[in-house]
Structures are given as C-alpha cells and as structure tokens.
Structure 1
Amino acid sequence: MLFQSLFLAAAFVPSVFSCPGHNNFRRSTLQGRQADPTDGTNSTKNDWAYEASFNWGQFNYNGSTAGNFYNWGFGPAFTVAHDGDYTKHPSVTYDNKTVYLKGWHIHAPADHSVNGARSKAELHLVHVDASGHEAAVMAIRIDPGNSDNQFIGQLPEMIGVNSGDETEAVSLDLTSALQSVQFFNEFWTYQGSLTSPPCTEGIRWFVARQALYTSVEQMQAILGASTYSARAEQGVWQHRINE
C-alpha cells in the first residue's frame, strides 16, 4: 500500500480569518474541540494511508445542477438552487448515511498539503443532512496543468472578490469535477470542522488523493478572483484519520 503525508490546515489557528468572523487575528487553542484540519508532523502517526476502494460510497450527481454563481468574499462559489427539500440535491452515500450538496466554494491556496506541498487552490463540496445541517465536505486540490479542465471551463465569467455580483440560474455538470479525481477512488478521511464560518464541528472530511488539473489560463482566472484564505497547519487532535 502507498503512504503519503497529509497535512491539514487548522480551523482554529487562522492565517487570515477565524471563526465565527473574518476579522479576528488572535491565535486560539484547540483544547476541547475538534479542529479542521491538522498537521501530521506533530502526531505519532506521521504517515497516513489513503483508502483505495471503489465501494466506499456512492455519488448521485447525475445531470446538470442549477444554482447561483458568486464570490464568497475569498473566491468563486456556487449555491445549489433549493426549494426546501435537500433530498432533491445531488448526494453522496457512505457508511449508510446520505448527505446532500448545498454548494461549493474555492480556497486559495489549498487548505490541505500533501508531503509538504500545498496546491494553488482547493474546491470544497459542502454537504448537509436532510435537515440542512452541515455534515460532510468533499475536498479537491486544484493545480495548473497542460490543458483545460471541463468542470472549470463551464463556469461563468469569474466574479471579483469585492464585486458583490451574482450570476443566477446557472446550470453546472458537477460530475465533471468528480471525474477529474476518479470519483474519490483514493482519499484521506477524518473528522473535523468547516474551515469557513460558521465553522461547524463534527464534519466528515474526504480529501481526494488526485488533484484536479486546469490550464494555466484557468488557474490564473481562479486566482484572479480569489484572495488568500488558507489556514495554518496544526497538530492532530482526535481527528480519527482514515477511520
């Protein structure tokens, strides 16, 4: 089995913003809380095996998904159109539990690093339970490559950080993002919290081993619509890595 070191950016030791607000730069502690994410170098378990299985869960992301495209204040984002019933949203099932896509947003640079290397950006697919409570995040690291990426290529024109504009009634093929990382056939998983407000705890994280590669021009567009929002790395604390 292959092993790699996964380093996770701490939710409670912020680089730029902290919970619940974005303007508190005071360093805080992790005692008594689950934090997302964590630094493997301070753990007795420095190297974590990633899971490799085509049967760990099932995605139901078929067809196009309607919603609004905007900038969440730190980068591109998308909210799924909602009629009051989250069970109609794209979903993923794991451990006999089904969660539903609420939306996605991009951090730049990536929240997670692997073998000490941090990707240029990271896509977070945020999922909720049937009641709308945040439950899981599927994280995909993004780096520049040699050709256009289908998922990024379908996005509307990027919206600037301070624009306040929103592109409504956008339809996206979200499956193309999953295809870029082999539908999470290899991943790390742990218990943590959201990395952006409201920083909800008890979140199940899945971090794809594969990265999503874009063209240089696409990456420039993403970074041009983003501002720094990654978090500092922190030691492992009750994150139940790969459990």
Structure 2
Amino acid sequence: MLFQSLFIVAPFVASVLGCPQHTNNKRATEPGSNSTKSDWAYEASFNWGKLNPNYARCQMGTQQSPIALSLSNGLSLNHVPKFNFNGSIEGNFYNWGYGPAFTVAHDSDWTTHPSVTYDDTTVYMKGWHIHSPADHSVGGVRSKAELHMVMVDATGHEKAVMAVRLDPGNANNTFFEQLPKMINFNDMNTNVPATLDFEPALASVLFFNEFWTYQGSLTSPPCSEGIRWFMARQILFTGVEQMQAILGASTYSARAEQEVWQHRINQ
C-alpha cells in the first residue's frame, strides 16, 4: 500500500527530541505520544555544544557525524557486515517528529532482534528512521533522504548505524509498499502496529556488498561517539509518489557535515 497520507506533521515539530531513541518498543494497541522537548534545532547545528554542557561532544568531538564521503575514499574491505534479517519484523510505525520511523517490538532480549555481524561483533536492530535531506553527501551530492537502521549491543546500547540513501526512481519500491497508511490522527507520534519484511530494503542495496565505514557519532545531541557507521554505496530508489509521501511526512533533519578528523574511514 502506498502511504501518501502517511503522517500529520504538527507545526511544533522542531521542539521534539532529535534522532529517535526508539523507546516505544511495546507493541502498540492505542495511540501514544513519543515527543520530548528539545533546546536545539537541526538548522543551527554548528553551535550545539554552546547550548548545553551535556552537548560539549558536539563541539569538541573527534569523530562526529555525518561526514562527506566519496569514491576517492575507496570502498571498505574491512568490517564486512553479514545480515540475519530472516522473516517479518513486528513493531510500531510512527512519525518521530521529523519523518517516518519504525521501532522493533521488544520484551527483554535484544539478541532475538534482526542482527548484523561484522568482525567479531554482533549488533541488533532497535529501529529505523528517516532523515530528510540525507545526512551524508557522496561525491558532493546529497540524496533526498537517508534511512538509518539503529543497531545496539546485547545490553541495548547504540553501537552501529546502517545507512541507506533514498532517491526517487521510476518504479515503486517493494519495501515501502508494505508500509501502512497513517490514519488521520492529529498526534504526529501516534504508534501504528506494523509487521514488515526488511529484506526488500536490503536487497535494494545488495545487502551492503559495497560500502563505506567509519567511526562516528550520533547525529543529534548529545552527539555520543563510538558508533560504527556503514553507508551502502547503492541508493535505494523509491517511486515518485513514495518519495513525495516521505518528504510530505518529513521536515528538515540533516545535521551539517563535520570535518574529518579521527574517523578512520574504511579502516
């Protein structure tokens, strides 16, 4: 199903918290709000570290995200990810205040979630959300949007992000056709129970068979570092109407690109 009327975006959207914490992990049975007041905005991301002492890392960190990527960086031969995403995933579909998002249903054991293994590390999907425009540019070009799969360790702490660029193409994408329409709730953070097969999204980018990777951070305050980023070289192309639905449900949520410092790109 095409999700043209997916979300009602409220005018106070800029007041919600940044990158979703995906804490709405209980299977939804009724509407529930997830918004939290914030003291910063994406449009003024250069000075986040001056707003709050808890955001100092945003200003002084050595591995801040996002960064500009390019084929001049080469592609990674290290940290090759292997996916274990078999079957359908239950969770909650909602608008995180800046665009579409999905949180995997969770009771107590993170290791039951869809997982990715790289090196000797296994991480588990907590949820995914979309930024618009894309956080990362590639070769100086910024895509219309970027999907972030937030991955955590067995204790539930953020460990990695699998990133996919989104652009409009000539045909609808099978993954986005699964998404339910959002009924006309006025609450932009209303949870809608959904069951999704994520493999079509991964197949669209050839399961990250070509990718960039680097050591980075969360892209909103407090900008915590120690996050392993993976960016698929391939772009996931949506249908024109699918992209219009994504953009219509979104508002500006791209942090300014950061200077490369100790990011160890592809190392």
**Which residue identity is paired with 1:75?**
G
**Deviations along 1:147-186, whole A, 9 cap, x unmatched?**
0001111011147896232202x10001111001000000
Quote the Cα distance in structure 1 between the aligned partners of 2:172 and 2:64: 35
Change (3 A) 1:161 1:52: farther
3-state secondary structure, aligned to 1:47: helix
Structure 2 partner of 1:56: 80
Structure 2 partner of 1:150: 174
3-state secondary structure, aligned to 1:100: strand
Quote the Cα distance in structure 2 between the aligned partners of 1:18 and 1:68: 18
Shift of 1:107: 0.2
Where does structure 1 lack aligned partners over 5 or more consecutive residues? 1-16
Structure 2 partner of 1:3: none
Structure 1 partner of 2:63: 34
Q: How does 1:93-112 map to 2 (within 5 A)?
A: 93-112=117-136
Looking at secondary structure, tell me which structure has more helix per residue.
Answer: 2
Quote the Cα distance in structure 1 between the aligned partners of 2:69 and 2:195: 38
Shift of 1:90: 0.0
Quote the Cα distance in structure 2 between the aligned partners of 1:71 and 1:161: 11
Task: Determine whether 1:135 maps to 2:159.
Answer: yes
Shift of 1:83: 1.1
3-state secondary structure, aligned to 1:222: helix
Q: How does 1:79-94 map to 2 (within 5 A)?
A: 79-94=103-118
Quote the Cα distance in structure 1 between the aligned partners of 2:238 and 2:180: 16
Task: Determine whether 1:23 maps to 2:40.
Answer: yes
Quote the Cα distance in structure 2 between the aligned partners of 1:161 and 1:48: 45
Looking at secondary structure, tell me which structure has more strand per residue.
Answer: 1
> Which moved further from structure 2: 73-82 or 156-165?
156-165
Change (3 A) 1:23 1:161: farther
- 8 Å Cα contact 1:76/1:158 also seen in 2: no
Q: How does 1:1-243 map to 2 (within 5 A)?
A: 21=38, 23=40, 25=44, 27=47, 28=49, 30-39=59-68, 47-51=72-76, 56-158=80-182, 163-168=188-193, 170-243=194-267
Quote the Cα distance in structure 2 between the aligned partners of 1:161 and 1:56: 42
**Which residue identity is paired with 2:178?**
Q
**Which residue identity is paired with 1:127?**
M
**Which residue identity is paired with 1:165?**
T
- 8 Å Cα contact 2:69/2:137 also seen in 1: no
Change (3 A) 1:142 1:104: same
Where does structure 2 lack aligned partners over 5 or more consecutive residues? 1-16, 20-36, 50-57
**Which residue identity is paired with 1:215?**
G
- 8 Å Cα contact 2:77/2:266 also seen in 1: no
Quote the Cα distance in structure 2 between the aligned partners of 1:72 and 1:89: 21
Q: Tell me the number of residue pairs that the alignment of Structure 1 and Structure 2 aligns.
A: 222
Normalising by structure 2, we get a TM-score of 0.76
